[in-house]
Amino acid sequence: MDGLRILVVEDLHDIADSMSLLLDLWGYKTNVVYGGRQAIELAETLHPDVVFLDIELPDISGFEVARQLKQSSATASPLLVAITGCGQEDDVRRCKEAGIDLHFLKPVDPEEIKRVLTSRAVR
């Protein structure tokens, strides 16, 4: 579609794979990982433009993934989008503190995802 490199980070395989399928149907190329450490490793070589990130991961939290991505010069610039079940005021604050740009509660309206990607492609 427009060449955006997208990384989906979600430990629930059905959710991750469904999101990847949706993005593929829209013409995007996506990579999927099911854990935080995998996300950090892949991001070092993929240099994603957008990372859709779950917060509650089995190995390290999405907050920690975001912090590590923002600290590395190789991965400091992607748009970080939390897609999570964590929606308390404290969760939103912690997302901002970790460097996450946008916060969405599951389930997310696909049109919201499309708007995020369209706005990123325009940059």
CA–CA distance, 110 with 22 (Å, rounded to integer)? 8
What is the structure's pLDDT at 2?
A: 63
Domain ranges of the chain: 5-122
Has domain 5-122 been given CATH number 3.40.50.2300? yes
Judge whether 70 and 76 are in contact, CB under 8 Å: yes
Q: Tell me, what's the pLDDT at 97?
A: 96
Q: What gap in Å lies between CA 110 and CA 95, rounded to an integer?
A: 21
pLDDT of amino acid 123: 55
Do residues 59 and 36 touch, judged by C-beta distance below 8 A?
yes
Q: Give me the residues paired with residue 32 across strands.
A: 8
pLDDT, averaged in runs of 10, over the chain (123 residues) = 87 96 94 97 95 96 96 87 92 95 95 92 62
